[in-house]
């Protein structure tokens, strides 16, 4: 049976997207998205849990994120989960992130934001069919 690695997140940016350049010269854009979950505890109290997700965007999708997204913006991310192993002499860690294929800007935290979108047609959606990075 074949599996499918598909993630859809809707949440808010915790910080502005940041670009970094890899050793091979490729650029990747990193940012974090918070999602909230409300539940009822065993005592009947309503609780809220916030989970933070690492997001990586490549190519046109990354460019869109850097040029248009700001901290607090509400976004929808469609992509896949990626688990990378990071090791040193003392320990080994697995870092999970979401590779964004599609980023949809749902709303701005501050509608009067001083950074206007680069292309009003792409503010709501950018799709870059990039499924094979690293």
Q: Which of 87, 9, 83, 103 is nearest to 52 (CA)?
A: 9
The 10s digit of each residue's pLDDT in 17-56 is 999 999 998 999 999 999 999 999 999 999 999 999 999 9
Taking the domains of the chain in order of start, what are their residue ranges?
Answer: 7-127
Question: Is the pLDDT at 131 greater than 50, yes or no?
Answer: no
Write down the CATH superfamily of domain 7-127. Answer: Nucleic acid-binding proteins (2.40.50.140)
Q: What are the tokens at 24?
A: 């091979």
**DSSP single-letter state for residue 119:** -
Question: Is the pLDDT at 114 greater than 60, yes or no?
Answer: no
> Strand pairing of 74-87 and 46-58?
unpaired
């Amino acid at each position: 049976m074949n599996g499918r690695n598909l993630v859809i997140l809707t949440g808010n940016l915790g910080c502005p997207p940041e670009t970094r350049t890899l050793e091979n010269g490729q650029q990747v854009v990193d940012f974090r998205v918070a999602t909230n979950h409300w539940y009822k505890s065993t005592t009947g109290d309503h609780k809220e849990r916030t989970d933070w997700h690492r997001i990586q965007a490549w190519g046109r999708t990354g460019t869109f994120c850097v040029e248009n997204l700001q901290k607090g913006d509400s976004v929808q991310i469609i992509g896949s989960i990626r688990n990378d192993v990071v090791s040193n002499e003392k320990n080994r860690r697995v870092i999970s992130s979401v590779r964004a294929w599609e980023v949809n800007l749902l709303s701005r935290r501050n509608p009067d934001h001083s950074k206007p979108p680069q292309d009003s047609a792409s503010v709501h959606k950018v799709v870059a069919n990039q499924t094979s990075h690293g």
